[in-house]
Amino acid sequence: MANIKDIAKAAGVSSATVSRVINQNGYVSEETRKKVELVIQQLDYVPNLNAVYLKKGATKTLGIVAPYFSDSLTVFLRGFTLSAQKEGYNVTLFMTGDDKQKELDAFEMLRRKQLDGLLLLIRLNDWKQLEPFTKYGPIVTWQRVESDHIPSVFMNHYDGYMLGLEHLYATGCRNIVNLYGSTSGLNTKSRMKAYLDFCEKYHLNPNLQPQFKGLNSSEDGEKVAHWWKEQSTKPDGFATSSDAVAAGLITEAKRLGVRVPDAFSVVGFDNIEIARLLDITTIDYPIEKQAQNAFTLIFNQLTHRENPLIPLDFHLIKRHTTK
């Protein structure tokens, strides 16, 4: 494999001149540049990126660590990757499943300088086990965490969920069922707190109907439609953990001959593409902007800059699954 010295010898120039041509840095006459570029082409020279990265002390590669795919995670991945690419960074995705060691393997790559920074979407290991890695490079998470070392771009789901509950109440719903996601995360706990405060505000019985937990997919929503069909006292509103759950609920209800919102109202959460396509009333959760902020936090630390973050707010998007 050809190297810079081989190119310099064949072109009749110094190694420094070849380096200036390759790196496009420093003055080289047009005639000499063309001569060097011709030799580079003839020798099929490819720069050793590992050597370049070692010299610069940066790989221009960021890692994203996630346990699984979901609609909202896909939106986040896209937003972060596009932001990174605009600044010349590549992105490597680490899918960990439920394997804690795979998550640690990604963090170990940061320690070994094989990555410049890490975005942790949903953690598997304890924060105390992950925080020491911050001395090797910037780490940002999407999860809600109180840490002096790992910044988060989370938004308080209490505020967004309360918007949906208030909308259901304003449209006449008094018998509301919550379709929560995983209760191990702080986001779901914030939603549950919002519901209790909502019931207290309007003097509603929070235990009038069962409140579902651990629902994350459209299949989960489909099962709830069948559950609703079997009830003698039927709820008139559903606040869901995601647009995917809401989509499953309303599409299966339609198959069962149930009209939404005549029979019951549904509010989704996220405002991803499926909510627009199925005309689902939802809470706009600016996932892509959070992803852009996540990259900005990493980029600022790597480049010692102070680029501002995008302001984030929840918004209700009224469509046709509520009255």
Over residues 93-111, the pLDDT tens digits come to 999 988 999 999 999 999 9
pLDDT band at 144 (very low <50, low <70, confident <90, very high): confident
Q: How far apart are CA 50 and CA 114, in angstroms?
A: 9
The 10s digit of each residue's pLDDT in 270-287 is 999 999 999 999 999 999
- What is the pairing mode between strands 90-95 and 265-270? unpaired
Q: What is the pLDDT of residue 268?
A: 98
Average of per-residue pLDDT across 14-43? 89
pLDDT bin (cut points 50, 70, 90) of residue 55 is low
Domains in the chain, start-ordered, CATH in brackets?
Answer: 4-47 (1.10.260.40), 59-154 (3.40.50.2300), 157-285 (3.40.50.2300)
Q: Tell me: the pLDDT tens digits for 284-321?
A: 999 999 999 999 999 999 999 999 999 999 999 999 99
pLDDT band at 137; cut points 50, 70, 90:
very high
Tokens of 247: 């989509």
Residue 212 has pLDDT above 70, yes or no: yes
The answer to whether the beta carbons of residues 266 and 286 sit under 8 Å apart is no
Confidence at residue 145, expressed as pLDDT on a 0 to 100 scale: 79
Phi/psi of residue 237, nearest 5 degrees: -155, 150
Distances (CA, A) of 296 to 18, 75, 78: 35, 17, 15
What pLDDT was estimated at residue 52?
Answer: 55
Cα dihedral 265, 271, 275, 281, rounded to 10, equals 20
Spatial distance between the Cα atoms of 291 and 187, rounded to a whole number of angstroms = 17
Instruction: For the chain, state the CA radius of gyration.
Output: 26
Average pLDDT, the chain: 92
How sure is the predictor about 155, in pLDDT bands with cuts at 50, 70 and 90? very high
> Does residue 261 have a cis bond before it (omega within 30 degrees)?
yes
Q: What is the mean pLDDT of residues 48-67?
A: 74
- The arithmetic mean of pLDDT across residues 113-125, rounded, is 92
Handedness of CA 37, 38, 42, 43 (dihedral sign): negative
CA dist., res. 161 & res. 167, Å (int): 10
pLDDT of residue 246: 98
Banded pLDDT at 235 (limits 50, 70, 90): very high
Average pLDDT over residues 126-148: 90
In degrees, to the nearest 5, what angle opens at C-alpha 292 toward C-alphas 287 and 298?
130
pLDDT at 182: 85
Residue 68 — pLDDT band, cuts 50, 70, 90? Answer: confident
Determine what percent of the chain is predicted with pLDDT higher than 90: 76
Q: What is the largest CA-CA distance in the chain?
A: 91
Tens of pLDDT, residue by residue over 175-205, are 999 999 988 778 899 999 999 999 999 999 9
